[in-house]
Amino acid sequence: MGLPFRSLTLAAGLVASLSVPGAAQDLLGHGGPVGALALEGARALSGGFDTRAILWDVETGAAHTVTRFHDGNVTAVALFPDGRFATAGQDGRIALWHPGARVPDLATGHGVSAIAALALSPDGARLAAGFWDGTISVLDVASGAVAQAQGHADRVTGLGYLASGDLVSVGSDLRFVRWGPDMTLAARADLPDLPNGLAISNDRVAVVFAEGALRLFSPDGVLLPERFLTDRPLVSVASSSDGVAAGAIDGSVWMLEPAELTERFRIEAAQGPVWALATRGALLLSAGADGAIRRWSARDGTAQGTGNSTARTDFDDGSRGAEVWRACAVCHSLDPEDQSRAGPSLHGIFGQRIATQPGFEYSEALQTLDIVWTPRTVAELFEFGPEAYTPGSRMPEQRIASESDRQALVEFIARASR
């Protein structure tokens, strides 16, 4: 895919060891930019350019499930209230999952073009997908039946369901469309500029634009308040009943009051584009080019995460190896009984053949490989990266550049396994 892989950035000692167990954590695990986010209750879902989707426990920062299914970027995600989730990708496919699943419960075939947006109906019965070629398809979640409509003359850039069950879409054809039952045209309006995303806020439609404006529309496309936030393109938007968040290509994020779009705060959330936002209650999540999913207070914009990989490690002995391990603890436990994270427990890994930890369901790709894990092979795994060393692995791409860090890591795993 030609994407730059992120090598693990490891904290220089003190910050990580000061972290309080159980404190709010940023969500670190993707091996490349994150382009899609959803938030529902205690769970967050992210989709990455690394072709993975990750289901997170928001409080602990632990990864619960890593899926690898799409050919190319995971471009849109949705969380069902009952815990299931949906992913969609550059490959034009939609997949439905339950937590812990290794393969989707249901998946559509390759689409004619990439999917840019997903929206779940308020009753959870229908999932709409917007494609780059302007198509909108609506999946009946129970039956798997798909209905398609030519929604826009150009790329669909935003989708959302109103409380009534009507669907709203915006597209690069500069159109706003409201769809009634069976995708009948209910209302249509022209947009003043290129829309880059849409979020439903208290049954009004918040749209972000390339010219840096955020506009609210009535369900029929009548312009309500608008705010010119920046002269840079806005590229992401999210809403909850008490706030609308917008993210720009230069890393700025605004949180606005939902009624009049007055500014609550503005933060610099990232160095590069903020590709995805999600908000609910007092929590705001942002994600972008560096692969980190950052936590902020939706009330005042204070950073809540530590900025480091600090998922709880059970065997922290203060060593450099324990520190390097923190990036792994997001997905791996060292407790032989604990298979609650997205990856297998690595207790006693040395001397074992690949994909043989009891109680963990591996990907097919891993099961066909022929490797015995030793300090040397685990060090090599992160010297060359899982993508090269264990092709097809669900583990996101990551490397540890320093040889002494790799050595410290495997020595720590050996100590913790005794």
Nearer to ligand HEC, 270 or 346 (CB): 346
Would you say how long the chain is, in residues?
418
CB of 97 to ligand HEC, least distance (A): 14
CB atoms within 10 A of CB 107: 16
Contact pick of 111, 343, 408, 412 for ligand HEC (by CB under 6 A)? 343
Q: How far is 394 from 155, CA to CA, in rounded Å?
A: 30
**Nearest approach, Cβ of 88 to ligand HEC (angstroms)?**
20
Q: How far is the CB of 321 from ligand HEC (least distance, A)?
A: 10
Contact 198, 158 (CB under 8 A): yes
**Which residues lie closer than 8 Å to 323 by C-beta, 6 or more apart?**
10, 11, 13, 16, 17
Q: Which of 246, 366, 379, 416 binds ligand HEC (CB under 6 A)?
A: 366
CB nearer ligand HEC, residue 270 or residue 349: 349
Site for ligand HEC in 64-83 (CB under 6 A): 66
Q: For ligand HEC, which residue of 289, 330, 379, 408 counts as binding (CB under 6 A)?
A: 330
Query: Using CA atoms, how far apart are residues 214 and 257, in angstroms rounded to an integer?
Result: 12
Residue 408 CA to its chain's centroid (Å):
30
**Residue 292 exposed, middle or buried by CB count within 10 Å (0-12, 13-18, 19+):** buried
Which of 34, 136, 261, 349 touches ligand HEC by CB under 6 A? 349
Number of residues that bind ligand HEC (CB under 6 A): 29
> Which residue in the set 46, 51, 306, 363 belongs to the binding site for ligand HEC (CB under 6 A)?
363
Among 362, 379, 385, 387, contact with ligand HEC (rule: CB under 6 A): 362
On whether the CB atoms of residues 126 and 139 are closer than 8 A, the answer is: yes
Q: Is 34 in the site for ligand HEC (CB under 6 A)?
A: no
Contact 366, 18 (CB under 8 A): no
For position 331 contacting ligand HEC by CB under 6 A, the verdict is yes
Q: Nearest approach, Cβ of 393 to ligand HEC (angstroms)?
A: 4
Q: Does 332 bind ligand HEC (CB under 6 A)?
A: yes
- Indicate which single residue of 6, 11, 27, 29 sits in contact with ligand HEC (rule: CB under 6 A): 29
Cβ of residue 251: shortest distance to ligand HEC, in angstroms?
24
The residues in 232-251 that bind ligand HEC, with binding defined as CB under 6 A, are: none
Note whether 354 binds ligand HEC by CB under 6 A.
yes
* 190 vs 395: CA distance, rounded Å: 44
The window from 81-89, 200-208, 240-248, 354-362 that contacts ligand HEC (CB under 6 A) reads 354-362
CB contact at 8 A, 175 and 154: no
46 touches ligand HEC by CB under 6 A: no
Residue 68 to residues 50, 63, 234, 320, 405: CA-CA distances in angstroms?
9, 14, 29, 31, 28
Q: Which residue is nearest to ligand HEC (CB)?
A: 328
Q: How far apart are CA 210 and CA 228, in angstroms?
A: 11
- Rounded to whole angstroms, the Cα distance separating 193 from 229 reads 14
Instruction: Provide, rounded to whole angstroms, the least separation between the CB of residue 25 and ligand HEC.
Output: 13
Confirm or reject binding of residue 200 to ligand HEC (CB under 6 A).
no
- CA separation for the pair 176, 174 (Å, rounded): 7
Q: 249 and 211 in contact (C-beta within 8 Å)?
A: no
Return d(Cα 335, Cα 343) in angstroms, integer.
Answer: 12
Which region among 86-94, 133-141, 143-151, 392-400 touches ligand HEC (by CB under 6 A)? 392-400
Number of neighbouring beta carbons within 10 Å of residue 243? 21
Of 57, 91, 65, 62, the closest CA to residue 76 belongs to: 91
Q: Which is nearer to ligand HEC, 131 or 382 (CB)?
A: 382
Check residue 87 for interaction with ligand HEC (CB under 6 A).
no
How far, rounded to the nearest angstrom, does the alpha carbon of residue 343 sit from its chain's CA centroid?
17
Q: What are phi and psi of 37, to 5 degrees?
A: -140, 145
Comparison of 237 and 378: residue with beta carbon closer to ligand HEC: 378
Listed ranges 243-251, 277-285, 288-296, 376-384: which one lies at the site for ligand HEC (CB under 6 A): 376-384
Both tokens of 324, joined, read 């390097």
The footprint of ligand HEC (CB under 6 A) covers 29, 54, 63, 66, 327-328, 330-332, 342-344, 346, 349, 354-355, 357, 362-363, 365-366, 373, 378, 381-382, 393-396
